[in-house]
């Protein structure tokens, strides 16, 4: 969410120059890439796998589709999409961070998934694809790290085919006061400690906790999708609203 001054934006709770955020976020993910999958399981107690499974179930991906797994990191969604699109389809694992892409590529190749996956380093704000060329776009736990989220959503809309859909899986806001207090304590006390112990990096995980708090709430993000042109925009809360899955269609 940008501030009124378009020259500045948020990096966690800090205000930074907009042109600095990309490199600051890059440093975070260069640091955590090697331990990213392990930390995901620790941080969410494995529940992130259920959130991603539900995203895949809502994607409508089928044989022959061209799918963009944007900010796809280590390729959890790409692995399943690769099986769904088959030999006649294609999955593009796209991420702005080359360290994350390398980890994802190595993992997927170890799983024997090589024939229908392409790896592309890209910025979500300027997707390197023609208009109307992608059937489905997913972005899981990546939008909050984008400098200009509105521009990124417009870019996703542009490259989707008519009839295509966008799914955004992201941390969001819970209305449950007790859950919110517990989540805050976990995020700012337990999570950085886990980051230090597992990944030898507490500051990156403190940033990730802060970036979640600065991300637009469910209704705001739904409105951003509608402004970009998406129709039938909706969202589904998971785990009391700690995470939400937004969905929209291009007609």
Find out whether 192 and 163 touch, Cβ atoms under 8 Å.
no
Q: At what angle do helices 98-110 and 36-44 cross, to 10 degrees?
A: 90
CA 197 to chain centre: 24
Contact 50, 76 (CB under 8 A): no
Task: Identify the sign of the CA torsion 219, 97, 36, 248.
Answer: positive
**Residue stretches of the annotated binding site:** 74, 95, 123-124
Q: Compute the distance between CA of residue 177 and CA of residue 56 in angstroms, rounded to an integer.
A: 30
Give the integer Cα–Cα distance in Å for 31 and 159.
31
CA–CA dist 216, 235 (Å, integer): 13
DSSP 124: G
Question: Is residue 232 classed as helix, strand or coil in its secondary structure?
Answer: strand
Which residues are documented as binding site for S-adenosyl-L-methionine? 74, 95, 123-124
């Amino acid at each position: 969410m940008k501030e009124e001054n378009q020259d500045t934006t948020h990096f966690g709770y800090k205000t930074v120059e907009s042109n600095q955020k990309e490199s600051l976020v890059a440093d975070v993910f260069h640091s955590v890439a090697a331990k990213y999958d392990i930390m995901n399981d620790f941080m969410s107690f494995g529940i992130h796998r259920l959130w991603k499974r539900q995203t895949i179930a809502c994607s409508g991906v089928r044989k022959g589709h061209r799918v963009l797994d944007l900010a796809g990191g280590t390729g959890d969604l790409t692995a399943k999409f690769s099986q769904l699109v088959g030999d006649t389809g294609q999955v593009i694992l796209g991420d702005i961070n080359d360290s994350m892409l390398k980890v994802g590529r190595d993992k997927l190749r170890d799983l024997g998934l090589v024939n229908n996956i392409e790896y592309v380093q890209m910025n979500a704000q300027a997707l390197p694809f023609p208009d109307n060329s992608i059937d489905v776009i997913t972005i899981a736990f990546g939008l909050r790290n984008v400098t200009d989220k509105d521009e990124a959503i417009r870019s996703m809309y542009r490259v989707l085919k008519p009839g295509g859909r966008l799914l955004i899986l992201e941390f969001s806001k819970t209305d449950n006061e007790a859950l919110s207090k517990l989540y805050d304590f976990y995020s700012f006390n337990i999570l950085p400690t886990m980051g230090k112990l597992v990944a030898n990096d507490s500051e990156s995980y403190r940033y990730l906790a802060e970036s979640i708090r600065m991300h637009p709430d469910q209704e705001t993000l739904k409105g951003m999708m509608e402004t970009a042109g998406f129709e039938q925009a909706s969202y589904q809360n998971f785990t009391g609203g700690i995470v939400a899955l937004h969905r929209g269609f291009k007609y």
